[in-house]
Structure 1
Amino acid sequence: MARTDSRGLPISTASDLAAERYREGVDLMLSTWPGAAEALEGAIAADPGFALAHAARARLHAMRSEPAAAKARIATALEAVARRGTERERNHVEILSLVLNGRTAEAIDRVSAHADAWPRDVVILSLPLGAFGLLAFSGRADHDQARVDLCERHAGHFAADDWWFLTYRGWSHAENGNVALGRDLTQRGFDLRPHNANAAHALSHAMHEGGANDEADRLIEAWLPTYPRSGILHGHIAWHAALAALEHGDAARALALYGAHVQPSASTGNAVNVVSDTASFLWRLQAYGHAVPEGLWQAAAAYAAPAFPGAGFAFADLHMALLAAATGDREGLERRASALAALAEAGTLPAGPVVPALCRAALAFAEGDYAGCARLLEPVAPEVVRVGGSGAQRELVEDMLLLALMRSGESTKAGALLDRRLHRRPSPRDRAWHGLLAA
């Protein structure tokens, strides 16, 4: 009898135990839930030549910011699939190898063709989706729509109760502006599998985009204690709760959440989450008029320095610039911005010239040159989406522009931006800023 994965696709193993442990490991990995590594290692122990288990283990290493281990394991998977594997499995492993070896543009094209042939191969279909997926980090300005298009093209191949597909289909719609549909789909996915950090995360985003920050806060407060602290998204989901506290001006609660879950010494997240969460939280705290306790900026910068020493990863570059600006590393920030400008000019920076402009705007804001910050940000504002991440994460740049306009006396422009934001997503903070402008 043929063994299958959790979506019914045949897998090349003769071991029932290996198949069972693989299904378990993949579903845990797709849930960003602890236990995936142990399940996949169990699959490999039961069948050392099982290529897909090695490939999934490689993917999990990458999710844990363990690139050397990921590359070694995907090499093992390539050798194994050459000896024993179907066409689908060979394509599956080869695509993951492209991703894990940094050949992401090639991988995106291969994923699309693979999904057309085998849409229920969820490990591969997951790669372009989410805030940190291949599409988000492709540099495309339309990556939110591209995720919706991908999900809708293949929606007919998934059961109505497929918790994974509901989660990412919902996430894609919510990020692309169809918040009501996105929240409904994501809620259904979450209800089917509450032990799914991606669903809790996507639902909190959908609530945020709909202006329901208090609901998101209650969701996280109830759900986070059920998620082991070793989970990759534990600190990031707590970051959402900290932002909700800042919405209401509760800096004490926001800092308590930061200290317990988000700061580098507390978080078990991967490097890009830790760097972006710490830099963006501390920036917001300070920009919204609250004091940043002694040492927090320095601790975040010390963690980030070895994680992203060079320029070229736009989303990380933005947050590295925030840290450099806040800690007074003007030379380091300008060095990064210049390197990014050279990459953009050479056409090798997917997100393009928006990235060095954001870096220099962060420095201008930190130095109190609000007019200069606004001059840098206004022309590139429509292109900020190209750095990737989520709408909630990129909102920081819009906040920077808004505050720069307010503080440089551009009240008409600031008011127009605030009106658009309040129409899109009402929030207590924006209403308070609107009141300041009207006074």
Structure 2
Amino acid sequence: MSHDRHGLAMTGASTAAVRHYDQAIDELLHFRAEVDAEANAAVAESPGFPMGNVLVAYLGLLTTEVEDARTARARFAAFQRRTEGAELLPRERAHVAAVRALLDGDFLTCGSLLAELTAAYPRDALALAVGHQIDFFTGDARMLRDRVGGALTAWPEDDPHFGHLLGMYAFGLEETGHHDRSEEAGLRAVELNPRDVWAIHAVVHTYEEQGRFGKGLRYLDARLPDWSAGTFFNVHTWWHYCLYALESGDLARVLAIYDSVLADGQSCLELLDAAALLWRLHLEGSDQHERWRALADRWPARVAEPFYSFNDMHAVMSYVGAGRIGEAEKLVAEREAYVARPLPGVTNHGMTLRVGLPVCKAIVAFGRGDYDAVVDLLYPIRHRIAEFGGSHAQRDAVQRTLLEAALRAGRHHLARVLVSERISLRPCSPYNWLKQAALADALGDGAAAAVARVRADDLARGGGAGENVGAVE
């Protein structure tokens, strides 16, 4: 019997395997690529080590890459054959059950099992980290907050990983709209560990949701060495940097970052960041055909099989942006055939049916210039977009598509509602005021359009909320 660094009992592990396992958990919480090597080293030292094999399986499944999932499935099946009949501890059995649910495509059951596990073992860092990612993939904002919040008091503040839990909690707070508390928790987490990229990411999301893009740019600039390299999350944080730069109107900086960082992305996470950024430009009429072409070339193998509909949406964006409407329609047809088959318990099946397919069809319709169809597809589901995962910031690409389609279709009453909702929620966003100006132009109200553009310009120069308050708020 051995124990991990948080005092939890484990079976089947040598001293060296435990050391590699503990290091792997630390690398995982730091989002460093070394987690794979450490996890595999733990299993190499002790092939029958249950928690080591569980960790390797989770890592293969959480990339949302089909090939990684296939490899994880084969490796975990081999582990179970080797250890059939072995006596496992209750916590180990619970993890094995959670992995099996995830291998079967049942994200929701996996998340529920991990929640039960966390209630019994609140200092199980792996259960918390994996559960947090499951909540992200399924768009469950409440659980993003409460899964971690319910465990926090079991962690002493001098534990080296307490800050990581606080950073996770900060992200959950942001996604549930508790922005002041999120900023407080996120900044404290970064204070405890300046290289906690997930906590930095939580703070960045909070500033995004509050429209404090000037503050966000300065925050990221001041911590550039802590987040910009050395993790498998740095590309995503650069994406957030670009969102701030877009609000400030600095397209040149956005494209420079795209070409130097995002254009070389290889993982699904990195490719969807690239697509989401270019799609925002596409909605504003910015032709990026060569960038789209290079990005579209990377998607086919990654969406050859249905696995995660959030990825499908970004693949379709890439095909449409590159002018390859036929490929986008082919992917949509494949997903229609997929949802026509009954697959009970497969989370992605329901996601695709309820949200993924309507969104993908709407993107194709946008590419064809059928803006009425875009509105008809997206408006009924606009409050259910979270069901296929991602964050508020990521899903805003869908909401912007709906708004732009309403404007182009001449559906002015609906466009007014959508713009009013955005301005009422975030009056400090230059983008929102530019859309107000576009609507006023369409209605023939040149004076109102001019006022809205001045407002947008003032906000862009002032950095949004909390910046030059007297001038722009």
Instruction: State the match for 1:428 in structure 2.
Output: 430
The aligned residue for residue 19 of structure 2 is: 20
Equivalent position SS for 2:278: helix
Tell me if 1:296 matches 2:282.
no
Higher mean C-alpha deviation, range 179-188 or range 68-77: 68-77
The AA in structure 2 aligned to 1:282 is L
- In the alignment, the residues of structure 2 paired with residue 73 and residue 200 of structure 1 have an alpha-carbon distance, to the nearest angstrom, of 34
Structure 1, residues 69-96: CA drift from partner, whole Å, max 9, x if none?
4334434554459646422123223422
Indicate yes or no: 2:39 matched with 1:40.
yes
Corresponding position of 1:107? 110
Residue 146 of structure 2 corresponds to 149
Superposed CA RMSD in Å reads 2.7
DSSP 3-state at the match of 2:282: helix
Q: 1:194 to 1:80 in 2, by over 3 A?
A: farther
Partner Cα distance (1:34, 1:330) in 2: 35
Q: Cα offset for 1:175? A: 0.6
What are the equivalent positions in structure 2 for 1:34-433 lying under 5 Å apart? 34-44=33-43, 46-63=45-62, 65=65, 66-75=68-77, 77-78=79-80, 79=82, 83=86, 85-129=88-132, 133-138=133-138, 143-160=140-157, 162-227=162-227, 229-263=229-263, 266-267=264-265, 270-271=267-268, 273-292=269-288, 294-311=289-306, 313-341=308-336, 343-344=338-339, 348=343, 349-351=349-351, 352-425=353-426, 426-433=428-435
What SS class does the counterpart of residue 246 from structure 2 fall into?
A: helix
CA distance in 2, matches of 1:45, 1:309: 32
Gaps (5+ residues) in structure 2?
344-348, 441-447, 450-473
Q: Is the 8 A contact 2:290 2:322 kept in 1?
A: no
Alignment partner of 2:204: what SS? helix
Q: CA deviation at 1:396?
A: 0.4
CA distance in 2, matches of 1:314, 1:223: 33
Please identify, of 313-322 and 80-89, the stretch whose mean Cα deviation from structure 2 is larger: 80-89
Cα distance in 1, alignment partners of residues 228 and 39 from structure 2: 19
2:215 maps to a residue whose letter is E
For 1:127 and 1:41, locate their aligned partners in 2 and report how far apart those are by CA, in whole Å. Answer: 17
1:135 is paired with a residue whose SS is helix
Q: Indicate conservation of the 8 Å contact 1:228/1:234, yes or no.
A: yes
Which has the higher mean CA deviation after the structures are superposed, 28-37 or 94-103?
A: 94-103
Report the counterpart of residue 7 of structure 1 in structure 2.
6
Larger radius of gyration: 2
Q: Tell me by how many angstroms 1:377 deviates.
A: 1.7
Give the deviation of 1:14 after TM superposition.
6.3
CA contact 2:163–2:192 (8 Å) conserved in 1: yes
What is the distance in 2 between the residues matched to 1:434 and 1:219?
29
The answer to whether the 8 Å contact 1:318/1:355 transfers is yes
Q: Match of 2:273, as an amino acid?
A: D
CA contact (8 A) 1:33 1:195 kept: no
Q: Give deviations 1:233-266, integer Å, cap 9, x for gaps.
A: 1211111112221112221110111111111xx2
The residue matched to 2:32 in structure 1 has which SS? coil
- Contact 1:186–1:202 (Cα < 8 Å) also in 2: yes
Judged with a 3 Å threshold, the aligned counterparts in structure 2 of structure 1 residues 69 and 310 are, in CA distance, closer, same or farther, namely closer
Shift of 1:369: 2.5
Identity of aligned residues (%): 26
Distance verdict in 2 for CA 1:43–1:213, change over 3 Å: same
Matched position secondary structure for 1:128: helix
Q: Which amino acid aligns with 1:59?
A: Y
Q: What CA distance in whole angstroms lies between the structure 1 residues aligned with 2:384 and 2:12? A: 47
Scaled by the length of structure 2, what TM-score is found? Answer: 0.81
CA contact (8 A) 1:247 1:428 kept: yes
1:102 alignment partner, SS class: coil
TM-superposed CA distance for 1:32, in Å, is 0.5
- Offset from partner CA, 1:195-224 (integer Å, 9 cap, x none): 222222222112211212222223333434
Q: Would the aligned equivalents of 2:3 and 2:18 in 1 still touch at CA under 8 Å?
A: yes
Report the Cα distance in structure 1 between the residues aligned to 2:238 and 2:265, rounded to whole angstroms.
Answer: 10
Q: Secondary structure at the match of 1:350?
A: helix
Aligned residue identity for 2:122: P
More displaced stretch, 26-35 vs 62-71: 62-71
| CA distances 1:93-148 after superposition (whole Å, capped 9, x unpaired) | 3422432453434323322322222222121222232xxx323444x7xx212333
Is the 8 Å Cα contact of residues 16 and 42 (structure 2) preserved in structure 1? yes
In structure 1, stretches of 5+ residues that fail to align are: none
Secondary structure (helix, strand or coil) at the match of 2:328 reads helix
Give distance in 1, aligned partners of 2:228 and 2:77. Answer: 31
The question of whether the paired residues in 2 share the 8 Å contact of 1:41 and 1:57 is answered with yes
Contact 1:354 1:380 in 2 (8 A): yes
Contact 1:311 1:336 in 2 (8 A): no
CA distance in 1, matches of 2:297, 2:49: 40
Q: 1:71 to 1:340 in 2, by over 3 A?
A: closer
1:230 Cα deviation after fit: 5.0
Q: Per the alignment, do residues 24 and 82 of structure 1 end up closer, same or farther by CA in structure 2, a change over 3 Å counting?
A: farther
Partner letter of residue 403 of structure 1? Answer: E
Superimposed CA distance per residue, residues 302-348 of structure 1 (whole angstroms, 9 cap, x where no aligned partner): 10111112346221121122122223333333333344445556665
Change (3 A) 1:228 1:290: closer
Give the aligned length: 427
1:228: Cα distance to partner?
6.8
Change (3 A) 1:80 1:217: farther
Shift of 1:285: 1.4
- 2:58 touches 2:130 (CA, 8 Å); kept in 1? no
Residue by residue, what CA displacement relative to the aligned partner does 1:267-312 show, whole Å, maximum 9, x if unpaired? 35x32x12311211111112223331x4211111110111112346
